[in-house]
Structure 1
Amino acid sequence: MATSHFQQFLDEATVLDPSTDSTLGPDCLYGLYVSWAELHGLQPKSDQAFRAGMQRCGVDLHDIRLHMTGPAAADYILRSYPAVA
């Protein structure tokens, strides 16, 4: 079975850390996804489709034990906090 682009996003832009209490919220995770999609030349799916995709990938949006990583993380941070740039 082909990997969904949601799973590809998780593989490329996040790392799992089950030992942490510091987690991404659903809105932050979606923002990271939008940055990732745009960096890949993809049209981001709607928030509703994203949430359904995360559920299919086994991500509990009420207890996200993921951290940002890679180019999408840098893009998301710079877009969210332009004063950092």
Structure 2
Amino acid sequence: MAVSHFDRFLREATAPDQDGDASLRKDQLYGLYTSWCLINQSTPAPGTDFWSAMKGHRIRPSDSGLRMTGPAAADYILSTYPVLV
């Protein structure tokens, strides 16, 4: 079975939030996804498609249960907080 674009994003840019104290909110998860797309030279899917795919993975916008990791996390943080650069 082929790995989908969204499967790859989840595998490369997220990890389970074991403590539950750093779960990504809706806007953060989609922002991380767009950073991941930028790094991978891929066009981000519209939000409706993204959230439909996340629903298929049982990831809720209100409590993703995920934290960010990898190069996309660094890109997202630096683009969100430019004062850090």
So what's the TM-score if we normalise by structure 2?
Answer: 0.92
Q: Is the 8 A contact 1:23 1:67 kept in 2?
A: yes
Name the counterpart of 1:48: 48
SS of 1:77's equivalent in the other structure is: helix
- Structure 1: 5+ residue runs without aligned partners? none
Give the percent of matched residue pairs that are identical in Structure 1 and Structure 2.
46
Name the counterpart of 2:82: 82
Name the counterpart of 1:19: 19
- Measured after TM superposition, the shift of residue 64 of structure 1 is 1.1
Matches within 5 A, 1:64-83: 64-83=64-83
SS of 1:36's equivalent in the other structure is: helix
In terms of mean alpha carbon deviation, does 19-28 or 40-49 score higher?
19-28
- Structure 2: 5+ residue runs without aligned partners? none
So what's the TM-score if we normalise by structure 1?
Answer: 0.92
Q: Deviations over 1:29-70 (max 9, x none)?
A: 000000001110100001111111111122122221111100
Give me the CA root mean square deviation: 1.1
Q: Is the 8 A contact 1:6 1:57 kept in 2?
A: no
Q: Does 1:10 find its partner at 2:41?
A: no
- Measured after TM superposition, the shift of residue 79 of structure 1 is 0.6
Name the counterpart of 1:32: 32
